[in-house]
Structure 1
Amino acid sequence: TCSIHVGVSNIKNNTFRLINYSYKEFDVFDDKNFPFTATHDQMDGVVSMPIHDDKGDPCFNDLLKANYGQIEEEWVTNFLAASHRTGDTQMATYNFNKKLLLLQ
């Protein structure tokens, strides 16, 4: 069985959780407790699952780090999500201030 990664957010307290679910695992991560590595380091307010970095796609962490502090929902949807292969990814981007949801 393949892992499923689901993001859950809360507009009232401005939080986000990344859930990693599979037959043998159920993990809940945020921007503080994700198992960060030297390649995928911690950034306040950012959580991403590095699932395609080994297949020639641009590294999410590198792209996020290059734009950290100025990440907007349009950039995430139109550039970041589009930089990865299609067929196995559904990405949702939330902007709580604008009450906006974008799907890719």
Structure 2
Amino acid sequence: MRSLQDSLYNWLTIKIVSEARPEDSAARETAELFESILVEEYGVKEPEVTTDEEMYYISVMTKGETKKYRFPRELIEVMRDQISSEPEKYVNFPEE
């Protein structure tokens, strides 16, 4: 069983990749999958994301209660940075 925190981490990580690579259909579809998990399993809609030099902050409303989470930027951005540093390993394939 995954936690809300784990689901937010996964969603934010791939959301950052998807925003950096708008042509990447796999990243977009994965972000949509994690977003649906947030909605369906936790009732979270439109998480509020803010950032500073060190952290990402997410505020969510779930079950009538506001919850706040924070994640270090380096953990969230590692996948995006890896893809950017070795783009030949992460080729986009055309949608069928």
TM-score of the superposed pair, with normalisation by structure 2: 0.26
Higher helix share: 2
Of the two structures, which has the highest relative contact order with CA contacts closer than 8 Å and spacing of 6 or more? 2
Higher strand share: 1
